[in-house]
Structure 1
Amino acid sequence: MEFLNTREFAQQLDAKDKLAKYRDEFLFPHVNGKQVIYFTGNSLGLQPKRTKAYVDEVMDDWAKLAVEGHFYADKPWWDYQERFAGPLSKIVGALPSEVTVANTLTVNLHLLMVSFYQPTAKRFKIICEEKAFPSDQYMIKSQVRFHGLEPEDAIVEIKRRPGEHNIRLEDILDTIKQVGDELALLLIGGVNYYTGQVFDMKTITKAAQDAGAYVGWDLAHGAGNINLELHDWNVDFAAWCSYKYMNSGPGNASGLFVHEMHHNDLDLPRFSGWWGHNKERRFLMEPNFDPVRGAEGWQISNLPILSLAPYLASVEMFDEIGMPALIQKRDVITAYLEFILHEIDREVKGHFEIITPSEPAERACQLSVFLHGEGRTLFDYLMKNGVITDWREPNVIRLAPVPLYCSYEDMYQFGQILKAGILSHR
């Protein structure tokens, strides 16, 4: 498609957009009395208007039924999480039995590593990416130390080549070969939080499993954003947060995936709890743990229904739309934003560098822009003028044109504000 940097062209794209109506389903902050251009759905998604009704329903049931709400609410609390299986399985490409919700992201990754990181004297190494999200770095190091190992011995980081911003697939595959039969686990973020790079999860998963390792993915920036086929890719496990692209609210519940090939392996170690016990016998209060045969067998505690209600509102919206439609718009609006950035850079003779891969297969709903020659003052100008974006040291802004609620006219208007901001500081 040939783009134009005009308001009229952007409005024409919006008029043809089949998802445009969903923009009105969300609540936007306002700056200087105007609705913001919101680029931080990769950090915290906007609140869907329908969320309040889902939360109010739980509050009303609690008020009217108290403990009986577990069984007699319109959506009984004791099996509330089962309503996620169908829609979540479509979002991540899984069987309904392979997904569930529980805890928060890093907690779930820790619990899954209990099962899938069992180092031996020979096979003990973990491959991860250089500069993974800090929480993943802390988690992996603490797991290694928990098993009596030293991070410098057990953790292998795949590094970027000098002068490059992204990790090459061939370097990942070469690292897997080099570690060989010492590799116990590969655990990488499916979408790099800083650059927005999307990894070839299918190819990487197969290579690591062929080396005899388990494979897990942190999908914090992937779920609800990219095409996922976790079951068909044979991924062992994955987990994701729900408050970024899936708009469930700050710090909300996590989703997790465990491939069906592990569901009946009762020798696989795990930390167990009452809510992971055979649900047909759960209230018999038996002393020995009999896990649910599925991802729910990795649940531990009674689930936080008030947290799940906003998440359910969101996944049902995703189910209405479908990931193919979201991805289709995601690709076009991200390409249009890329075009706008290049146009503004040309007009002001700036020094923008988009460090997110230019290949559509290697990126999703994020462009990370290195502002050579521009500083924090430009970011502050954007924020004060109604563009909510994200700053990352040393000099990067992350822009996420979320297809559910961002418009093409937003992209055009952002370009005009960006241009004004640059010129005002010269």
Structure 2
Amino acid sequence: MTRAFVVADDLTGANDTGVQFALAGWSTTLRLGAEGTGPRRAAGQATAVSTDSRALDHDGAATATRTAVAAERLAADDHLYLKTDSTLRGSVAAQIAGALAAAPDGAVVVLAPAYPAMGRTVHEGRLLVHGESVTLSPAGRDPVTPVTTDLLTELVPGAVPVPVAPTAAAWARAIDAASRHGAVVAADAGTDAELARLAEAIVLLGPRAVPAGSAGLAAPLAALWRTDGTPPDHAAEPPAALRPLVLVSSHHLVARDQVAAAERADTTATVVRTTTDALLRGEAPAPAAGEGPVILLSPDERARPGHSAQLAAALAGHAAHLLADADHGDHPFDAVVLVGGDGAEAFLTAVGAHGIAVRGTLLEGVPDGRVAGGTRDGLAVVTKAGGFGDDTTLTLLLRALRTPTRTETSR
């Protein structure tokens, strides 16, 4: 059985795509460090990494992606999946250029950001969120990487659009024909069934096709690429937590609204608010009172240019401090929830982890696993992209941790 390698532009994206491989039966690890700071994967295993390149300039993002792919030393029959933001925020064109630079001659990137379960679709070459232009969604108002057009051919200059085809074979022929006009083909898709058909077309095209997109396309590909013929193992038991520590580093409007909704809905939850100046001065937060969830919220204001990484590290350090402080009290934390890729990566670094052993999902787009390595080895961990879900998602997640089940919607 071959290996699978997922390269993403942030950590939560790497995990929500990596979990699609875990659900398809692959032994899956999210590895901290794109250049292999953790253990290498063997045949039959999937690895997901983050290049942390979403907000980088073109050259920086292209170099980070190319370096990550080249460092993995993939064999000819291994599989590469380039995970992009489902709303195509940030340096997507550069990430694609980097993947192509590391791929064999003649490779074609098949770009399909659609994720219908999360409301992301592509129709006639336009990226939509819940049926409206992505520019009208919170992604269009993102404080760091706003999306200013919904045309895939403008978001990725040189991309050749391809409409939905009635069969996988017809779609493969259309992609092959389009690839004669450019090395990036942008595919329409509006349903899970269409993504499954596109995945079949990618398999028909063989190793020259490099899929790029969200977790929506990764799910059917993970199943098709698993060629050993054995059925997937039963999903691991979901984590149960009465007192999770929730670290919200994301400034996405969706994430902030989710915190406000959870604070209203859950009277046992405590929100610990921070300020940029206090974080950068290293002021430790007060010990968290109560027995319920604690939500450590990043400052409302963005960090000054050049200070984002420092701010994420300070916030993660505060989270580690709260965990350690609670260990000596009557109500220790029994899980950590990481909302936002920069803070998630900073937290894993702060506790000395080399990654996450990926297990399953609690909600759509919300994977769970166990911290791998470091001082918190084995701690239950849940990650969520800041822009995923609606106002109720964090509330539902906290409820799911109290009464955990694996459901059909958890795939």
Same-fold call, TM > 0.5? no
Structure having the higher helix fraction is 1
The TM-score normalised by the length of structure 1 is 0.28
Q: Which has the higher contact order (CA 8 A, sep 6+)?
A: 1
Higher strand share: 2
Normalising by structure 2, we get a TM-score of 0.29
Q: Which has the larger radius of gyration?
A: 1
